[in-house]
Copies of this chain bind each other. A is one copy, B any other.
Amino acid sequence: MNIEEMTIEEIAEQINSLFDNKKYSDIKSILAEINPADGAIIFEEVSYERQILLFRLLPKEEAAEVFVELDYDTQETLIHGFSDTELREVLDELYLDDTVDIIEEMPATIVKRILKNTDSQTRASINTLLKYPEDSAGSIMTPEFVDLKKNNTVEDAFKRIRRTGPDKETIYTCYVTDESRHLIGVITVKDLLLHEYDDKIEDLMETNIIYIYTHDDKETAVQLFDKYDFLALPVVDMEQRLVGIITVDDALDVLQEENTEDIHKMNAILHNEKPYLKMSVGEIWKSRILWLLILMVSATFTSIILNAFEAKLSALIILTSFIPMLTGTSGNSGGQASAVIIRALSLGEIGFKDIFKVIWKEFRVGVLCGLTLAAVNFVKVWVLDRWLLGMEGITVGVDLVISLTLVIEIIFAKMVGCIFPILAKKLKLDPAVISSPIITTVMDALSLLVYFGFATAILHI
């Protein structure tokens, strides 16, 4: 049995069959060899009754690391099965920010048990962390960092790292604070290693420090990681006192989460943090139905417009045949613009100050795209639709109306697609709420007005 060659699914299957045969020591030796993140996957593949057994077979020093990778349901099952001693052992090994994440998801009875099994100092820190708003930098930080004093030497620093390091989430960036806990410097272990033992921290530390406030948005923290390539970012309170750090792995998680949220919003979905397969049908329905309803009812405008032009449509029914193509194309054009602008806003590539630059750019892109599509369409309608498919009622006038509509609606679509998200941002809304379905709904109505305008003017109907 060579587990290095096996996929996690195969290992899980193997473990299940070892359970069937009660070969617990074999399970133990498999578990000793695998990474905590993989260990967590195995937990999801065994039955509830086996989970607590499996947990007890984990190497002591890895148990907490696996625990933190489990989903909340499994964590809850395990905590139910834990003795108080086991619970305390796990809690002792967890980093505080992870404990807080778990507490936020657990029912009250379990939270009570967790708090009962932590010492009073930890309990106080947990309570402080729980108070930060959900999307704040404070909510993702950990108060466990290595702090140094400016008159420490490099040797002192290493001693302190050796003593306190095992409990810290990262030791590679150390923070220098004064007697009132103000952040006055930062020094990396790399710098420490490359200097002499008796050098003073004060002379080596970086004093031009990038930091973030506890109440800042966690998205801002991610942008700082992206820009400055940090391994950890210090978090200070309103009085500039260092209260915690955010580590790069947590920033990566936030980034993934924010991107998922953006993609969902851009498609008119209310975001839910659960992974897809864990969501119930009712939860998925809830995340999707609101916008579908709003957009469906908003489409009343298109019904009104079509109804108003009913007589003209009856007179020249061929015009109906091109409505989905026209509304589709304007929706697609607007959706392209809004997607690009929303993303550029969220990457910080553009801001409100660039609004006129963006509008001017999109206007020209709209003219170019409009002319290209109109030219292709003019030929296509004439050759494919009229000649090859034999659609009746297509005249040069009709073809012209369709093509001119394309030019104008695409320019409009690019304008709407770029202006809406920038304005949303200015109004402190998330630009991603300007989903392409919203753009499509607006453009459906606008395109029809343009279409009937040209039809009236050119075809005199």
Tell me how far the C-beta of A321 lies from the nearest C-beta in chain B, rounded to whole angstroms. Answer: 4
Tell me how far the C-beta of A248 lies from the nearest C-beta in chain B, rounded to whole angstroms. Answer: 5
Interface residues of A in 126-185 (CB under 8 A from B): 158, 161-162, 165-166, 171-172
| A427 CB–B CB distance under 8 Å | no
Q: Are B436 and A329 in contact (CB under 8 A)?
A: no
| A323 CB–B CB distance under 8 Å | yes
Q: Are B259 and A248 in contact (CB under 8 A)?
A: no
Q: Are A328 and B295 in contact (CB under 8 A)?
A: yes
Whole-angstrom CA separation of A377 from B347 in the bound complex: 39
Whole-angstrom CA separation of A189 from B282 in the bound complex: 48
Size class of the A contact interface (CB-based, 8 Å): 35 or more
Q: Are B310 and A321 in contact (CB under 8 A)?
A: yes
Copies of the polypeptide in the assembly:
2
| A373 CB–B CB distance under 8 Å | yes
Q: Are A34 and B208 in contact (CB under 8 A)?
A: yes
Whole-angstrom CA separation of A373 from B293 in the bound complex: 6
Tell me how far the C-beta of A372 lies from the nearest C-beta in chain B, rounded to whole angstroms. Answer: 6
Q: Which among B251, B267, B296 is the interface contact of A376 at CB below 8 angstroms? A: B296
Interface residues of A in 202-234 (CB under 8 A from B): 208, 210, 225-229, 231
| A44 CB–B CB distance under 8 Å | no
Q: Which among B229, B264, B372, B389 is the interface contact of A343 at CB below 8 angstroms? A: B264
Known contacts A304-B389, A350-B276, A364-B281; decide if A369 and B288 are in contact (CB<8 Å): yes
Other A-B pairs, 14, CB within 8 Å; known A267-B338, A296-B328, A300-B384: A172-B189, A229-B252, A248-B249, A266-B266, A277-B349, A288-B365, A289-B369, A292-B336, A296-B376, A300-B380, A310-B320, A310-B321, A320-B323, A332-B440
Interface residues of A (CB under 8 A from B): 4, 33-35, 37, 158, 161-162, 165-166, 171-172, 189-190, 193-194, 208, 210, 225-229, 231, 248-249, 251-253, 255-256, 259-260, 262-264, 266-269, 275-277, 281-282, 284-285, 288-289, 291-293, 295-297, 299-300, 302-304, 306-307, 310, 313-314, 317-318, 320-325, 327-329, 331-333, 335-336, 338-344, 347, 349-350, 354, 357-358, 361, 364-365, 368-369, 372-373, 376-377, 380, 384-385, 389, 391-392, 436-437, 440-441, 444, 448
